Amino acid sequence: MTHTERVTIEGVDFLTTLHLAGPIGLLALHGGVEGGTAELAAEVATRTGATLLTFTQPEGPPTHIPSTRMTPCTPLTTFLSHTTLTISLHGHNRRSTPRTIYVGGSNRPAARILATALTDSPYTPITTLSDIPHPLRGLHPDNPVNQTRNGGVQLELPLLARTSHPTPIDPEIPPREVVDGIVAGVRTLMERERARW
The pLDDT of residue 32 is 78
The pLDDT score that the predictor gives to residue 1 is 81
Global confidence as pTM: 0.95
The helix/strand/coil state of 123 is: coil
Q: 129 φ, ψ to 5°? A: -60, -35
Those residues with Cβ within 8 angstroms of residue 91's Cβ, 6 or more apart along the chain or in another chain:
30, 34, 35, 36, 37, 156, 157, 158, 159, 162
Give the pLDDT confidence score for residue 122 in this predicted structure.
95
pLDDT at 4: 97
* Domain extent for 184: 2-196
Please check whether residue 74 is in contact with residue 7, taking contact to mean a CB–CB distance below 8 angstroms: yes
What CATH code is carried by the domain that includes residue 64?
A: 3.40.630.100
Over its length of 197 residues, how does the chain's per-residue pLDDT go in tens digits? 899 999 999 999 999 999 999 999 999 999 979 999 999 999 999 999 999 999 999 888 889 999 999 988 999 999 999 999 999 999 999 999 999 999 999 999 999 999 999 999 999 999 999 999 999 999 999 999 999 999 999 999 999 999 887 666 677 889 999 999 999 999 999 998 776 65
Burial of 144 by CB count in 10 Å (0-12 exposed, 13-18 middle, 19+ buried)? buried
Report pLDDT for 95: 92
Considering its fold, how many domains does the chain have in total? 1
